[in-house]
Copies of this chain bind each other. A is one copy, B any other.
């Protein structure tokens, strides 16, 4: 590891170029009125000394750090990651850097991070994560704007960006009916989970709108393959008559297709299956690959970041903003080879 040397300062650059520090600053930032020859000389000196401006000292003046904080409420997981990526993408394009903070579902840790971020004078904060319910605000009267992404704040005055799960559910049901299925059952996660509630309620609602009866009462369980398999067992032994299953997650859906195949039911011929999340490794590796609802989390992250940038620039939004989900069709609902 090379001996870390001291960082060059603008004073060093000015000295090497033979100008005052003010002039050096102007030359490097394209301000003031200077001869081109002087600008070149200063830039040259900066390059020679590997000068990188001290962002901390600079923001002392500008009042902006071009930095935002991202706090996850739960541990960083499968859902928060795409959101983070989208946000990082949108912010990076605006020359902003992201402080990553993993809240671990620990309110104390979370408050510590909020303090740290404020101390570092971030220009704004994005809160993300998965939770059974919406969450309490990370703070009130904070001096910087906050946007909640994927998760939502219980305070309706806060700005939250969340997927339109009800809309996604409608797309799934409409797709199943469009391919001629009428005896649809819904298998999903734990009953206390907000997503499970929304998806299940929207399913019943949409079926009713279409004049259909559910082929069975919705089955609540866990977000796992094992539950998907088990639920199929329950349906089959109960003698339910169904030609389609809409699942609350791709993991459940994968368990479902495996169990159906093991029971001799052909997918999609006898039973069509739709998942939720469009988690590539699950949806594509299933046999057959799964049609699924994609929440477009990366786009959601970008939207959240854009809204945060707007708020930083003085145009705050408030309330829950819904991001559309879209349907990704694969073999579990179509008979292409």
| Known A1-B316, A4-B143, A159-B1: A99·B97 in contact at CB below 8 Å | yes
The segment from A14-22, A37-45, A54-62, A164-172 found at the interface with B is: A54-62
Q: Contact string, A150-181, partner B, CB cutoff 8 A, digits 1/0?
A: 00000001110000000000000000000000
The segment from A83-91, A183-191, A193-201, A206-214 found at the interface with B is: A83-91
- With an 8 A cutoff between CB atoms, is A331 at the interface? no
Smallest Cβ-Cβ distance to A281: which chain B residue: B251
Query: How far is the CB of A266 from the nearest CB of chain B, in Å?
Result: 15
The segment from A118-126, A237-245, A267-275 found at the interface with B is: A118-126
- With an 8 A cutoff between CB atoms, is A149 at the interface? no
Among candidates B4, B7, B143, residue contacting A6 with C-beta atoms closer than 8 Å = B143
A59 to B118, CA, bound (A): 15
- With an 8 A cutoff between CB atoms, is A230 at the interface? no
Consensus secondary structure, chain A interface:
mixed
- With an 8 A cutoff between CB atoms, is A92 at the interface? yes
A316 to B98, CA, bound (A): 27
- With an 8 A cutoff between CB atoms, is A25 at the interface? no
| Known A56-B56, A56-B57, A143-B6: A311·B1 in contact at CB below 8 Å | yes
Query: How far is the CB of A91 from the nearest CB of chain B, in Å?
Result: 10
Copies of chain A in the complex: 2
Contact between B99 and A98 (Cβ–Cβ < 8 Å)?
yes
Question: What class of interface size applies to chain A in its complex with B?
Answer: 35 or more
A81 to B50, CA, bound (A): 32
- With an 8 A cutoff between CB atoms, is A108 at the interface? no
Contacts of A116 in B (CB 8 A): 97
Residues facing B in A46-103 (CB within 8 A) are: 50, 52-57, 59-60, 65, 67, 70, 75-76, 81, 84-85, 88-89, 92, 97-102
Contact between B97 and A98 (Cβ–Cβ < 8 Å)?
no
- Report which residue of A57, A100, A318 has the largest number of chain B beta carbons within 10 angstroms of its beta carbon: A100
Query: How far is the CB of A30 from the nearest CB of chain B, in Å?
Result: 17
Contact between B56 and A65 (Cβ–Cβ < 8 Å)?
yes
Query: How far is the CB of A87 from the nearest CB of chain B, in Å?
Result: 10
- 6 nearest A-B pairs in the assembled complex, by CB-CB distance: A56-B56, A225-B285, A100-B100, A1-B316, A52-B119, A52-B118
